[in-house]
Homo-oligomer: A and B are copies of this chain.
């Protein structure tokens, strides 16, 4: 079996681009990734593209061919949709196909356009990641769903709004120098605590923003990288996917995320690493409580003990395990379909020494990306390692 190397990455600025279509955004990210990789367009054998709400925000389905032509690639293209894990799922399939010899060069990425919708419209659009019949029609919004998870977590394991505020503060701090980030400004715990309530106990600063943006990763086989003498020292060495019941009321437990645990265990076994080997992680912090659930699911903290990780400094940039050095969804932004590939792009740069925050983790060799769909009814985990 060959390895899947990251040869190049590309990201747009994450933020508000109401004048740009998702195909336009993806063109920027994809072309940047191809240039970064130094790969000939003619060698690209497929485009694996994540998008979540294009039908609602741009009246556009069938976006695979549009993604390919946006980056000037003449190859089959497929759109993957798994809510907020859309490009994570696309990446997983691309990793498998490169390792199994189905292709030597693939472009993986995603894009989302959201700010052309009103807040009410984007809230309604995001709700299609939940169960329309049994959650949405009963009045559940996405912030409401995560608020229920937070409440349950607090009741079961303790923790406070202040603990969660430290997650937001940390991720804003990490994004300060990241020019792709939607928010490049520091916030305080007080700012977070005093921000307006969204769905108790979650306030505005517990939530990621509504974001337009795109991401792309050029994956190549080890054989191709060697043959073309590419600078591709970071490989995706592990991939895992997990699933759970869609609606919260159908789960055995909403204070843990078994789908993410399942994905992580598979990815670690695939890579031959353990949670202890991980030096840096990008996790799906669509809400602050989601980062807490993620760091527990990934095995970095025992169940019930992740809530104080940011507060204790364990996951800050100078902690034992820096989490979301990119700024995370919270501060970097969350263009839904782009997020999974964006996490991997950030991690590859961090591990490769090309990230503004690389100097904060100079000895990092193993990174983990955790991308979740909905209320973690879907989860994809990837392990990245420096292999050269």
Contacts and interface: CB of A to CB of B under 8 A. Distances in A.
Contacts of A77: 243, 378
Contacts of A69: 245-246, 250
Contacts of A97: 96
Contacts of A65: 243-246, 373-374, 377-378
A68 interface: yes
A7 interface: no
Given A69-B246, A78-B82, A243-B65, A58 B89 contact: no
Nearest to A93: B93
Contacts of A60: 128, 131-132
Given A76-B243, A245-B65, A377-B65, A55 B58 contact: no
Copies of the chain in the assembly: 2
A315 B74 CA distance: 32
Contact of A100 (B74, B100, B131, B243): B100
Interface string A120-138: 0000000111111100100
A29 to B, nearest CB: 19
Interface string A363-384: 0000000000110011000000
A69 B97 CA distance: 27
B378 A243 contact: no
A109 interface: no
B132 A246 contact: no
Nearest to A241: B76
Given A129-B61, A129-B62, A243 B80 contact: no
A34 interface: no
A59 interface: yes
Contact of A378 (B62, B83, B131, B245): B62
Contacts of A21: 133
A75 interface: yes
What does DSSP make chain A's interface, helix, strand, loop or mixed? mixed
Contacts of A100: 96, 100, 102
A81 B21 CA distance: 19
Contacts of A338: none
Contact of A56 (B55, B81, B96, B132): B55
> Interface residue tally of chain A, by bracket?
35 or more
A117 to B, nearest CB: 13
Contacts of A136: 59
Contacts of A89: 78
A79 interface: yes
Nearest to A84: B62
B62 A377 contact: yes
Interface of A: 21, 46, 52-53, 55-56, 58-62, 64-66, 68-69, 74-83, 89, 93, 96-97, 100, 102, 127-133, 136, 241-246, 250, 259, 262-263, 373-374, 377-378
17 contacts: A55-B55, A59-B128, A62-B81, A62-B82, A62-B128, A62-B130, A65-B373, A66-B246, A68-B243, A69-B246, A69-B250, A77-B378, A79-B82, A80-B80, A96-B97, A96-B100, A96-B102
